[in-house]
Chains A and B, each alone.
Chain A
Amino acid sequence: MTAPLLSIEDLHVSFATRHGVVEAIRGISLSLAAGETLGIVGESGSGKSVTSLAVMRLLDRAGRITKGRITFRGEDITRASRRILQPLRGAAMSMIFQNPRAALNPIRPVGLQIADVLRAHEPLSAQEARARALALLEAVRIREPRARLDAYPHELSGGMCQRVMIAMAIACEPALLIADEPTTGLDVTTQKTVMDLLAETTARRGMAMILITHDLGLAAQYCGRIAVMERGKVVEEAAPRRLFGAPQHPYTQRLVAASPTRDSTVASLVGETETEIPAAPPLPAPAATRGGRLLAVRNLVKRFGGTTAVNDVSFHLESGESLGLVGESGSGKSTLSRLICRLIDQSSGSILFDGAEIGALPARNFHQSLHRRAIQLVFQDHGESLNPRFSAFDSIADPLQRLAGFGRTPALRARVEECADRVGLPRELLHRFPHQLSGGQKARVGIARAIACRPRLLVLDEPTAALDVSVQAVILALLDRLRREEGLSFLFVSHDLNVIRMMCERTIVLQTGQVVEEGPSGRIFAAPQAAYTRELLEAIPHFEPDVAEAVGV
């Protein structure tokens, strides 16, 4: 057995923050052989990204390796100077990042950026470097590579930017490639092509890869070995089959249980965690009238300039029903949800809500309409969608004061507290500001705000996309319970098909502004009719099917 390509021994990393020194990595040991693919999974704050930055020695000023050793190709690089590291980076070990568009220099053509990397490590002329850059763009299968050489990052799609990033990272044939959440934020079909490209490239060139991800399915599909990290420690390390088939550590077990799979249900995701939400008494509900048509959309069209974002879409939603809206970026699902919330005006078509033509009301004046209370929104980014100067109480009270005519009275306080109880937000957190709340707590505030006025339709725009899986599981369970208890209807927008399948009775698949398939969720996921739906479903990374069986979910 030869020496490993990379070995990390008892690594400790701490960060100097305003509140003193924080230990981000607390003694991890990992090793990687040449050509091997290692997955590091964990939730936010587990230290997986810090590990990779420590290996590249790219920690920012505040971060320090306090203990331990990093050895690369037999050489101790724990304290190596820039003079030693710079020739290694890019040539022997390189890295690709989440959010590829931001990772590229916005005002430099991508061809030049690839050439920059090449010329940093090899004595090449500008022409030679350009020729090599072209070859690399072909290698990462970018369409019209010659034209793309002179393109700027903002002229390329997210997937193309990540391909360019990969081209830069593999330009000098490094022995190790670290991919830090390389496909987060990309569409599921793009994710598949990018990951396939990465796997194929590393295999062909004999490169080792460390894949850092929060997506267990992705890690299972592309890694030979997976390390699970929790709060700065590796809690378990094994081959995916073993790890997901028979997780040993309680944290791994929880993580596996919380990850949506082909046949999980909302209840199965949460397990015993659900008990953390105090079961609020059912409301004296506004007559949870099941049945009856709540929303009917007919021939809805929305054009922006020359492009048609929503093209002749018709569907309906029964009272108390949950309808899923899936599609990739550019499919028009966000535009559609905004049209239905009356945040923007349609170009043509009608929107009937509870029998009233709300499509005729200009979006500008809709806040005066009585229907505003009845249609409420839950946003994707729970941090951004809360006013940073409003406490949780103010945020929840805001719609009550504006739409339901509450004054600053004890009745308002009672109502806000009741809403907080219903979403499982501890009352003592109500005076806190958004930055003092965790992601899950902010999500609860956002949901409490949305249900405060007792709406009949809740439009949820990727409500769990920014959350860790364990938090997502709890929030999904909460939403599902709220819907049943309050007789709400959901229009649930998501790119995560598994989430849609669990949360929605019916599903609409959108592609470039048009409905390509519509039907009961179970049928669509079991036997998709449209080719595009099949493509979407096939692109979801799953744990191995037999493993899933072994887990018994």
Chain B
Amino acid sequence: MGLTITEKILKDHCDDKKASAGDFILARIDKCLANDITAPIAISVFDKIMEGTKKAVFDAKKIILTPDHFTPNKDVASAEQCKILRKFAQEYKIVNYFEIGRVGIEHCLIPEQGLVLPGEVFIGADSHTCTYGALGAFSTGVGSTDLGVSMALGQCWLKIPETIKIVYSGKLNKWVSGKDLILYTIAQIGVDGAIYKAIEFTGKVIENLSMANRFTMCNMAIEAGAKNGIIVPDKITKEYLQNIRHFNYKTYENDKDADYFDEIEFNCSFIEPQVAFPHSPDNAKPISEVDAIKIEIDQAVIGSCTNGRLEDLITAAKILKNQKIKSNVRCIIIPGTQKIYLDALKMGLIEIFIDAGAVVSTPTCGPCLGGHLGVLASNEVCVSTTNRNFVGRMGHKDSKIYLSNPAIAAISAIKGYITSPTYSLTK
């Protein structure tokens, strides 16, 4: 029986030449990543492993540290956490430590910097590390101890996952994006629908989907419980890498007779923009149903590792141009990286946002996990382009989060209730 792309990448990164789905392996990793929440524990694990030995990381060029969650430091405690990363980076000459002013939301920043390439094994102490599967890498989230061990050994224990293949056929409807496809998918298979499995996104619709939308889809594979999301590299992948001047990498594809755990097909012609209701990402409903019940909002957030890319900001700007955000709504827009921020500035998008009455923040995970820069009070309602709408995720445990794409969030900020540009963009 043939192998899937995920199985092939992992097999090439371990000593067991017969390894296949279901086997435990010690994988050689190409890169590893931690942030201001997960790195402090990883560093203390690393120190304990190395106690009394000649301390050294496995490869200073392959470790990436991004203080992006509670930064710029929101309080003394988070400042202390960041200090631990900074000191470690200096001591071990970690070249890919990103200081404030250069750092961005990790899963927007790392592909932009060319720090992940097709065919690589990438682990990150952050659950949304699965984002990079969009480039045809095996990338997955792990914990801090895993990361501490990886910094010491350059290895990580993994179980080779079986793969669920999802085929997206038909044609994309107006205002339907990668975010809607993944929310729809999670609603169909459930938050544990792909537990311990790889999800491969494929089909005509994916072949024509931009990299930004592909990142969004792979980013939320974890929300279905998946170990990794993956898309086989193609022309669009190659163009993206050419633009950031990367030409040398190894691409993998599926064997013709690859063995899948399951195969599912969705006809996109029947998929509307989706909104995931509180308190679970698999609670999505089509926008036509949502618009009908006029859910009033207090806040709209456009940004995060899911939807903080330039393409997302361009979409939001199309809707916010020459419009005003409803007087009782706060609209918070967060570019994913400094480069995205600067590009948006040069394109005039930031001016559009500020004219509309939105606040534009420096890149940070901030409000997505209830950290800072947009925390919710009790009973407040937020429409957000982020990835999780769990109880208390963005602040008070009695607040409510509705997940959507950037177009829905932007038009909802103008109207004051959750709606679609299809119904509401008439002047």
Q: Do A and B bind each other?
A: no
Residues of B within 8 A of A (CB): none
